[in-house]
Structure 1
Amino acid sequence: MFERTYIGLDVHARSIVGCALNIDTGELTRSCFEDDLLAVSEWVQGFGPEVRVVYEAGPTGFGLARHLQAAGIDCVIAAPSKLLRAPGDRVKTDRRDAKILASMLALGEVTKVTIPDTEQEALRDLSRTRHVASIDLSHAKQRVNAILLRHGVLFHGGKSRWTREHLKWLHQQHFDDPALEFAFQESLAQEESMSVRLKRIDKEVARVAANCRYTEVINALACLRGFSIVGAFGLATEIGDWTRFTGATIGSYLGLVPSEHSSGETRTQGSITKAGNTYARHLLVEAATVHKRPYRRPGVQELRQLELVSPATAARARQGNQRLHARAVAFDDRHKMPVKARTAVARELAGWCWSLAAPLQEGRPMTGR
């Protein structure tokens, strides 16, 4: 038996290619499997107890990792964006990828992805379903607007659209051409269907958010301007364990820090890295747009939300809202490019979210940043 073995797996929906590396002898052992988790675990266990397994995060999810861990096997999932690849390496095969993963794991060069449990993954799926529904509704509205614009039909009832008045006006529009009339009515019906679907999902999200493992964190995050219960639910479930980070590292994890290329005495910073969780970053950037709006005192909705949390959390949230508004106004006064200002506010907002969520999960008193 091998004494120390590192195994890389190249995982696909219907096949898994494995490569086992014995670092004492340099011997490689390869195998290929159908979509059979039991066969994979039996093969891995054949190398003895001193074995570690790695595969890349991907669309196949975390089922294999959970199965191997349940069998007592040390399995990690690698972040694909953090894997080192030579610039001139233009050969990519399943066998080669499995070998590279095993070698990187042996060298300790694998950046691990946190494996969520089944409950957290289910909550994430609910949040992402809501996000997709929101995008579908936006596209449906765009299609209705595009048809009207192409044929010179304009709404003159004000700048705001998709209000009651605008919807009433939409149902009054008709076209003489039967094909065009059918296309317009179908697009309008699809928009209405997507709107009903989104409301149904929002209702379910609110129900689940009120009684789940992240309820306390969700209520705290919703005290910050820009976060509804739906947005707070999404951010809380995507991050999961906030105690993994600090106020300084949460922005880096979410890809909200500038990229950098420095050599010698030259230091150049570029656009943000956009690493990590795309959906969580989207939620923060979307929430950051609100902080530019006038803010003197909490509104009715914010006051209701503040009543759901402890006095210390409420005070911290109000402090964050004031600080973020001041930052957004300062950027505007300096005529900073809006997209850069919004990203900078989102980065600081991530830190404030951490300062609210991490103490709650650790069970420690709220402290300064």
Structure 2
Amino acid sequence: MEPVTSCCCGLDVHKKNVVACLRRIEATGELQIEVRTFSTMTHELLGLAAWLKEAGCEQVAMESTGVYWKPVFNLLHMDVEVLVVNAQHMKAVPGRKTDVRDAEWIAELLHFGLLRGSYIPPQEQRELRELTRYRTTVVQERARFSNRLPKVLEDAKVKRGAVATNILGRSARAMLEAIVAGERDPALLADLARGTLRTKRAAVEQALTGRVMGHHRFLISELLGQIE
């Protein structure tokens, strides 16, 4: 089988280091193999990029290992074609025990055109995906804290949810903030009701008659802060 490129590199990427195996066919037709190890610090990755550029590397391949491949890809893909390969698509090598052997295997497969890179979206799309995932996480976390709040109130014998469905509405927030500040009088707390909730003032006052302890106020304060 003939090589499809004269110079390529296989990378075995880990959290703290990257093992690089460079395969290059010299003008004489002789195959040269060089292995180097770089840390994942930015200055070291820049050194990796400079080494590949100096060697005339045409292609680089690495497995899509967790999130560790991303900073390496971001630094290299502007100067050289980078293939990010699904590890499941690579055949296991019997007896491959070390990171150096992994890098050599990736380089060898790449050299003979036996690797298929995964689709990597453009940078703008990758950034949008990251922001979208973060927003989804924030929304999920907020929902979790919101669901925790009624349990704390129930433990404090405050039945606020029995009178109003929106426990985080404007009236409810004002009452909860007053409770956190130390207000205990149900009548004064009920006076904070707004809108249609004021027509249920008597029921609101009864619902706010509880046994709020110091740890309840602390938990309510923490949960409100997380929900903000």
Q: TM-score, normalised by structure 1?
A: 0.40
Query: Does structure 1 residue 39 correspond to structure 2 residue 75?
Result: no
* Distance in 1 between residues matched to 2:20 and 2:85, nearest whole Å: 15
Query: Does structure 1 residue 186 correspond to structure 2 residue 219?
Result: no
Q: Where do 5+ consecutive residues of structure 1 fail to align?
A: 194-369
Which residue number corresponds to residue 140 of structure 2?
Answer: 135
Q: Percent identity?
A: 23
* Distance in 1 between residues matched to 2:103 and 2:170, nearest whole Å: 59
Classify 1:168/1:180 alpha carbon distance in 2 versus 1 (closer, same or farther; 3 Å): closer
Contact 1:157 1:166 in 2 (8 A): no
State the superposition RMSD in angstroms. 3.8
* Distance in 1 between residues matched to 2:150 and 2:142, nearest whole Å: 12
* Rg comparison, structure with higher value: 2
* Distance in 1 between residues matched to 2:33 and 2:6, nearest whole Å: 12
Contact 1:54 1:105 in 2 (8 A): yes
Query: Which among 25, 37, 59 is matched to residue 52 of structure 1?
Result: 59
Question: How many Å apart are 1:98 and its aligned residue?
Answer: 1.9
- CA-to-aligned-CA distance 1:269-319 (integer Å, 9 cap, x gap): xxxxxxxxxxxxxxxxxxxxxxxxxxxxxxxxxxxxxxxxxxxxxxxxxxx
- CA-to-aligned-CA distance 1:80-106 (integer Å, 9 cap, x gap): 4544447x87x7643233233224434
Using CA pairs under 8 Å that are at least 6 residues apart, name the structure with larger relative contact order, 1 or 2: 2
Which residue number corresponds to residue 118 of structure 2?
Answer: 113
Matches within 5 A, 1:1-369: 4-12=6-14, 14-21=16-23, 28-34=33-39, 35=41, 36-48=44-56, 51-57=58-64, 58-60=66-68, 62-71=70-79, 73-85=80-92, 93-106=98-111, 108-149=113-154, 154=159, 155-157=161-163, 160-162=165-167, 164=169, 167=172, 171=176, 175-191=211-227, 193=228
Amino acid at match of 1:187: L
* Distance in 2 between residues matched to 1:150 and 1:25, nearest whole Å: 77
Contact 2:9 2:22 in 1 (8 A): yes
Aligned residues: 186
Q: TM-score, normalised by structure 2?
A: 0.60
* Distance in 1 between residues matched to 2:24 and 2:103, nearest whole Å: 14
